[in-house]
Amino acid sequence: MNHYDIFIDESCHLQHDHSSVMSIGFIKVPHNQYSDLKSELITLKEKHGIPHEFKWNTCSNTKKEFYHELIDFFFEKPLAFRTVVVKYKNNLNHEQFNQGSHDNFYYKLIYFLLNNEWFTPSWDRYRVFLDIKDTRGRDKLRKIHEVFSNRHYGDTPFELFQHIRSHESVFIQLADFFIGAVTYKSRDQHLVDNASPVKVDIIRYLEHKSGYQLDEGTEPWEEKFNIFDHQPRKKIL
Encoded amino acid at 79, one letter? L
Name the CATH topology of 3-230: Nucleotidyltransferase; domain 5 (3.30.420)
> Where do the domains of the chain lie?
3-230
What distance in Å separates the CA atoms of residue 61 and residue 188, rounded to the nearest whole number?
A: 20
Number of Cβ atoms within 10 Å of the Cβ of 6? 24
Strands 80-87, 21-30: pairing is antiparallel
What distance in Å separates the CA atoms of residue 178 and residue 56, rounded to the nearest whole number?
A: 8
Q: In whole angstroms, what separates CA 198 from the centre of its chain? A: 21
pLDDT tens track for 32-50? 999 999 999 999 999 999 9
What distance in Å separates the CA atoms of residue 187 and residue 87, rounded to the nearest whole number?
A: 8
Sorting pLDDT into bands at 50, 70 and 90, what band is 137? low
- Residue 37 backbone dihedrals phi, psi, to 5 degrees: -65, -40
pLDDT tens track for 179-210? 999 999 998 888 888 889 999 999 999 999 99
Query: What predicted TM-score, i.e. pTM, was given to this entire model?
Result: 0.86
Residue 131 near residue 172, CB atoms below 8 Å = yes
